[in-house]
Structures are given as structure tokens and as C-alpha cells.
Amino acid sequence: MSNILEVRDVAKFFGGIRALDGVTLSIPHKGLVGLIGPNGSGKTTLFNVITGFYVPDRGSVWFRESNSMVRIDGLNPNEVFRKGIVRTFQTPRLFNSLTVLENLLVTPVNQIGENVAKALYVKSWREQEIELSKKALGLLKTFGMLPYVNSRISELSVSHMKMLETMRGLMTPAKLYLLDEPTAGVDYSMARELFTYIKRLRDEQNLSFLIIEHRIEILMEFVDYVYVLHNGRLLSEGKPNEVTSDPKVIEAYIGA
């Protein structure tokens, strides 16, 4: 199976701290991959390198574009997004003065009405707007958030914010999703529902996911491969059951 993303020997240092120290991993096309590790192990730093917030000090990041791999490290975040990678943040970064609906509608790419000249003529973008709003409403319905459609972000609970951030990604044509703790603060049944939906998206729409998650019990149930980071290095990798029985992993989590 071909890979959609390859991280090759990536290192990132902050002064003397080795946040990432030679990480190599790959995500297969239609992969649902977990990324776990204790706090400070470099998970979010890796996301920041992949999405263009940091330039790696060593190594490279490659992303599949049609039939070949292109190098994406060093690109700006908006360019990385345009390649087809969307991310969420550990602390949700939503557009706080906009409504839930507006937050979903702001993300789709190639909106006709974002062009100045065309923005002036409602007719030129009305159809697309209606189409997008139907898609947004569909998503809200799926996640039971329809009643909040006109709420401002400040009126939402943390779990709704988390879900909205993931849904915002789903409004884009991205092929790879980097989700940073999508279920933190989300109650158990809702979290399972979210993962079920992610899996369905993977199967039906051929999307790929790399998911940072601390709720390992839920994560392991859904992902098909797991990477474990520890002190900026890969500690272990494999199928969920292999990883959870790996003594090194158990030690890092419990013994450290």
C-alpha cells in the first residue's frame, strides 16, 4: 500500500532541548494511525513540523501528490493546507466571534465569494454558499450540534469546541487529517461516536488520519497502527495490541 505521508529522520531542537530527535514514520493511504506518548514527548512538535509551523533542523517530510511524493517541510502552513493536510489544535483554535455555522463555512477552499470582485455580486457565489451550508448543516446534524448552529463559540462547551474543530477540517477537501487530542474533554459515548465517524470517513471517503490521543482505550479500539513517541524518539510502533503489550511502552507510561 502506498504512503500518503512520510516523515524521514526529522529532528527539531529548541536550544538544548531535543523536542524531536530523528523521528521516522509513515502513514499509509487510508490509514488510521495513532500517535501516543507521555506529555512532552514531541507529539505536538511533530504536528507543527508537518504543518509548516516549524522548519525541521534535520530530515524531511514528504506528502503524496497524485502519483509522486513531494517534499513539504519548509512550506508555510497555508501552503501545507493547500496540499491537502488539515490539522486541529490541542486547545481548540476556533474563530471566537463567529458563529458555529460561520466557523464551518469559513474553511472550504476555492470559495468564489472570497474573490473581491465576485464577492460584490451575490449571484456569483450564492449557489456554492447554499451547497456548503447544506454540507455544514449535515455535519452539525450528524454530531447533534444543530441546536448550536447560530451560537457564538464562547457559548459552547469544550467538548463541542473540540468536535467543531474536527468538523471544520471535514469541510475542506483535505486528504490527511492531523487531529491533536480530538476527544479531550469529550464524554465517553460522544468520543466513541466521533471515532466511529472518523472510521466511516476513512472507509467511505478514502481519507487518512494521524491522531494524537491520550484516551488510549478508545484510540486502540479504532486505529490500525500506532506510533509511540518518548523524549523525541520513536519508542515503539505496531498494531494496537502489539504496542500495548510492549514492555518499553508500559514502562514509559507507568514506570517513568
Partner 1 sequence: MIGFDIVGFIISWLTLFGIYAILSLTLNMESGVSGVTNFGKVVFYGIGAYISATLTTYLILMLNGVDIVENPPYNINGVILLGELGSKNPVLNIGLFILSVFLSFIVAGFVGYLLSYPILRVGPEFVGFTLLSTGELLRIFLLHFEPVGASKGLMAIPNPLGWIPDSRVRETLYLIVILAFLALTYTVMKRLLNSPLGRTLKSVRDDETAALCMGKHVPKIKALVLFIGSGFTGVAGTLLSYYFTSVNPNMFVPSVTFNAWAMIILGGMGNLTGSLLGAALITLVDRLLTFITPLLGITVISPDYVRWIIIGLLIVVVLIVNPRGILPEKPIKTPALQQVEEELKK
Footprint (CB under 8 A) of partner 1, residues 99-118: 99, 101-102, 105-107, 109, 111-116
Binding mask 122-141 for partner 1 (x = CB under 8 A): x--xx--xx-xxx-xx---x
| Bridge partners for 65 per DSSP | 68
Q: How far is the CB of 220 from partner 1 (least distance, A)?
A: 28
Q: Order the strands of the 233-238 sheet from edge to edge.
A: 85-87, 176-180, 208-212, 32-36, 225-230, 233-238
Q: Which window, 61-69, 77-85, 183-191, 217-225, contacts partner 1 (CB under 8 A)?
A: 77-85
Q: How far is the CB of 152 from partner 1 (least distance, A)?
A: 8
Given candidates 3, 38, 40, 98, which one binds partner 1 under the rule CB under 8 A? 98
The 8-class DSSP code of residue 186 comes to -
Nearer to partner 1, 79 or 203 (CB): 79
Neighbouring CB atoms inside 10 A of 131's CB total: 11
Nearer to partner 1, 21 or 181 (CB): 181
Q: Supply 24's cell numbers.
A: 521516522
Nearer to partner 1, 121 or 188 (CB): 121
Q: How far is the CB of 94 from partner 1 (least distance, A)?
A: 7
Those residues with Cβ within 8 angstroms of residue 166's Cβ, 6 or more apart along the chain or in another chain: 88, 177, 179, 182, 194, 198
Find, among 37, 38, 48, the residue nearest to 12 by Cα: 48
**Size of interface with partner 1, in residues (CB under 8 A):** 46
Nearer to partner 1, 72 or 249 (CB): 72
Q: Which window, 36-44, 79-87, 204-212, 214-222, contacts partner 1 (CB under 8 A)?
A: 79-87
Return d(Cα 224, Cα 219) in angstroms, integer: 10
Exposed, middle or buried: residue 214 (CB in 10 Å: 0-12, 13-18, 19+)? middle
Footprint (CB under 8 A) of partner 1, residues 161-220: 168, 172
Footprint (CB under 8 A) of partner 1, residues 140-159: 141, 146, 149-150
Return d(Cα 213, Cα 175) in angstroms, integer: 20
Backbone angles phi, psi at 78, to 5 degrees: -70, -30
Exposure on the CB side of residue 153, measured as CA atoms within 13 A:
16
Find, among 117, 94, 116, 120, the residue nearest to 106 by Cα: 94
Q: Which window, 32-40, 78-86, 193-201, 219-227, contacts partner 1 (CB under 8 A)?
A: 78-86
Given candidates 41, 44, 51, 208, which one binds partner 1 under the rule CB under 8 A? 51
> Rule CB under 8 A: which residues touch partner 1?
51, 76-78, 81-82, 86-87, 89, 93-99, 101-102, 105-107, 109, 111-116, 119-120, 122, 125-126, 129-130, 132-134, 136-137, 141, 146, 149-150, 168, 172
